[in-house]
Amino acid sequence: MKRFLWVCLMVMLLFCMAFADNSEKKARIEINIPSRTLSFYKGDELVKRYPVCVGKPTTPTPTGSFKVIYKAVNPHWLHDGKIIPPGPKNPLGIRWIGIADGIGIHGNNQPQSIGTLASAGCIRMYNKDVAELYAQVPVGTPVRIIYECVEVFEDPYGKEKAAVVFPDSYKAGGKYGKELLQEPAGKGLGKEQLDRVQDLLKASLKAPAAAALNIGIFLNNRFVTGSGFYENGAVFISYQAARELLGLSPEFLTGYQIATEEKNGIIFIDLSGSAKVLGWDMHYDEKSAGAYLKLMPVKINGVYLAKNLGNDDTQSLIDTKSLKSLGYPMQEDEVDLMLFGSALVKVQREKKNCIGIDPLLALLNGEKRTDTLLGIVDAVIPVRLKKDGKYYDTVKNHQGVFISGQTAEAIKPEWALTENTEAALEALNSQEGDIPLETFLAGMHYRTNEYNTVIEILEEGDSEAASN
């Protein structure tokens, strides 16, 4: 009997542990109206933040606790007694996640509205974002809609936390006074920052402002770092932030002689000068002590290439002139751009010939990583080898970058004999054998372009030969 009770107790304990573990990872959604963001959590872990469009002041998005009650793919829209079928004229986009009677999280057919106050009370998302969210939130998922004008951020490029104060979108100071004026106490902010928060809450803000130890730097009205300063009419940002966020490479800094400064062991670069050289829209607001950069950057393998002339949702575009920096053979006519024997259709944006990033990456076996909250597109493209005007593919996996034995033999037939390595000989004799690119390049003369898209193999006697 005692043994039976012991077994039952153990079964109940294991069940409770499994239930607790499952509840800790349960999906939930939180939407903050002033910041116009949707945060998706699994338990206490923030999975991703998305930009959203919320209700106009005349048709505000309601606050409170809700849950997902209904989901639909390619929903129909009932408006003025008419049923609008799925398609480009349907303002619900490609997904509907209902949370209350007439209120839902959905896609859109006006991507330019994301980040604004424009809906009739619903929460709009980019179509690709809502499709991603839709797949992860079952019916019953809790949804909490809040109205908080203050958020505290861990600054990834600074040593201190920063508070961001958002405009009081609905002029709700009276209705939500307690939430608006409550100090974010216990969140690691110093007295100076807390005083700054109070001052900003009383101001009539037109854009978000930061209570940081230095200035706040914003990309598309999203706080990115307080690791910067304003000096002699110029905004400086930590080089780490400029490199990781915007893709400003050492070659760019030296090529355009961008000013740098060192403070407390941290390297800062002149962001104002960089923006001027690259044609970025940026201004510094002395009243809010904030630098505001309006830009959708496109990076190739982490290095800034050009502005996205499309949008974050349906079509990201890059101008053909910038594409030439990647080192590929290209020919253009009035309609197409020819690349590696394939045609890419051109479109016109801002009086420039452009190519869609998605078809470009499909041709180059690349992939796209998009941060829709900040508006950053980071395209990852495999490096190609170039020898005597011919291009050769490489293969990348979790172990590194490789070339086939056949490619090695085509580029340098005598390589295996020169290196005399067992691995090289095995690769050359195998149909499936791959050679680490680093091993192949050892001892060779070559040069790599700034974007790491092309490695050109040079002859030893070439006057420009350089080992990288």
- Annotated active-site residue 76? The verdict is no
pLDDT for residue 181:
47
The active-site residue out of 122, 149, 354, 398 is: 122
d(CA 266, CA 172) in angstroms, rounded, equals 41
CATH topology (fold) of 27-146:
L,D-transpeptidase catalytic domain-like (2.40.440)
Domain extents for the chain? 27-146, 150-294, 297-378, 384-458
The answer to whether 317 touches 308, Cβ cutoff 8 Å, is yes
CA distances from residue 313 to 35, 113, 346, 467 in whole angstroms, order as listed: 20, 11, 19, 41
- Annotated active-site residue 122? The verdict is yes
Residues of the chain where predicted confidence (pLDDT) is lower than 50: 2, 4-5, 7-9, 11, 16-21, 174, 176-181, 186, 420, 431, 463, 465, 467
The answer to whether 180 touches 201, Cβ cutoff 8 Å, is yes
The active-site residue out of 106, 354, 398, 445 is: 106
